[in-house]
């Protein structure tokens, strides 16, 4: 089997390449420019930009499965219209251009890494999203992912290539950046946080677990033309997550027991309603479909995944 991986230099892609090598899969990795040293045995190809104009002919030659993990995640434009245009260019138009060329190149399966944001930004506690729920994307990023999903499903009906869509919540693991890295930093530095009374529930997924489901979907017949949610199967409150990060570090998280309603009110008064949502709202996913159709269970626990994550973080900051 020959597999093409986009987004190969990112956290998910890098981990995925190593796992595919362990499975003795022939891998071709896509990168934007020649600056990344892939592990021995990985073939690389340069694709400068992903858009509706990109020529994937050389990258797709001889490929059996495409795993499309590349995405536009951030844009700098303040205009909502411009943001949506930029996200669509890569995440929707760029994805569908790749998929159409893959189908023409006789690729058998296209695995698309989407986002749980396609379903929405929050759930009521104890009421996780399921694959049968009506999507309700709110931001430009989520809308672009949803449009890509719809286009891929249409393409699967028109061609011999099947499609697998994986909707993921926040991914963490070795080399994690952005908001999760900030949580690691504040716990490591023992910075006091008024987050000792948060009672939400949020699904997360360790990169190990996400990659395990991706590789399960490589050849599993039941995955054909299906959408699956993925998580660690162990939903946590923000307070519990910080405590577990502290446990992984071997030091307690410095959490002040401020009532959740006051935390939300304070952040909204400061104009940080987006932060209040991420820290205080619930966002849960139900992974029973993957369990039932694919006999898949997350292979690594939250505790073990956080141990790996904090170890990698400490190694990085010590250099």
Return the active site residues.
Answer: 141
CA 150, CA 38: separation in Å to the nearest integer? 33
For residue 49, what are the β-bridge partners? none
Strands of the sheet containing 26-31, edge to edge, are: 42-46, 26-31, 2-6, 65-68, 109-115, 162-168, 226-229
CA 14, CA 145: separation in Å to the nearest integer? 22
CA 221, CA 121: separation in Å to the nearest integer? 31
Q: Is 185 helix (H, G, I), strand (E, B) or coil?
A: helix
List strand residue ranges (DSSP E) for the chain, in order.
2-6, 26-31, 42-46, 65-68, 109-115, 162-168, 170-172, 204-206, 226-229
Q: Is 236 helix (H, G, I), strand (E, B) or coil?
A: strand
Tell me how far the alpha carbon of residue 187 is from its chain's centroid: 23
């Amino acid at each position: 089997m020959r597999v093409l991986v986009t987004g190969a230099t990112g956290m998910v892609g890098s981990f995925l390449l190593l796992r595919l090598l362990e499975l003795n899969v022939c891998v071709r990795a896509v990168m934007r420019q020649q600056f990344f040293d892939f592990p021995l045995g990985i073939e690389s190809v340069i694709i400068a930009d992903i858009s509706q104009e990109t020529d994937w002919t050389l990258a797709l030659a001889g490929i059996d499965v495409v795993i499309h993990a590349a995405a536009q995640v951030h844009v700098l434009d303040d205009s909502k219209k411009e943001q949506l245009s930029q996200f669509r260019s890569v995440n929707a138009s760029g994805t569908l251009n790749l998929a159409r060329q893959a189908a023409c190149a006789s690729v058998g399966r296209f695995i698309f890494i989407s986002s749980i944001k396609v379903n929405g930004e929050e759930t009521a506690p104890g009421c996780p999203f399921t694959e049968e729920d009506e999507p309700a994307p709110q931001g430009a990023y989520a809308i672009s992912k949803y449009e890509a999903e719809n286009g891929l499903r249409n393409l699967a009906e028109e061609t011999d290539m099947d499609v697998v869509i994986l909707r993921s919540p926040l991914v963490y693991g070795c080399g994690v950046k952005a908001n999760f890295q900030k949580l690691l930093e504040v716990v490591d530095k023992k910075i006091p946080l008024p987050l000792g009374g948060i009672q939400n529930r949020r699904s997360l997924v360790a990169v190990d677990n996400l990659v395990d489901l991706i590789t399960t979907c490589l050849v599993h017949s039941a995955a054909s033309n299906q959408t699956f949610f993925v998580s660690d199967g162990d939903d946590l409150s923000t307070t519990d997550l910080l405590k577990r990060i502290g446990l992984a570090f071997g030091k307690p998280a410095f959490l002040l027991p401020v009532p959740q309603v006051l935390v939300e009110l304070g952040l909204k008064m400061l104009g940080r309603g987006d932060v209040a949502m991420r820290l205080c709202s619930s966002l849960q996913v139900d992974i029973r479909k993957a369990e039932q159709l694919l006999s898949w269970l997350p292979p690594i626990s939250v505790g073990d995944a956080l141990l790996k994550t904090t170890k990698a973080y400490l190694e990085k900051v010590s250099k």
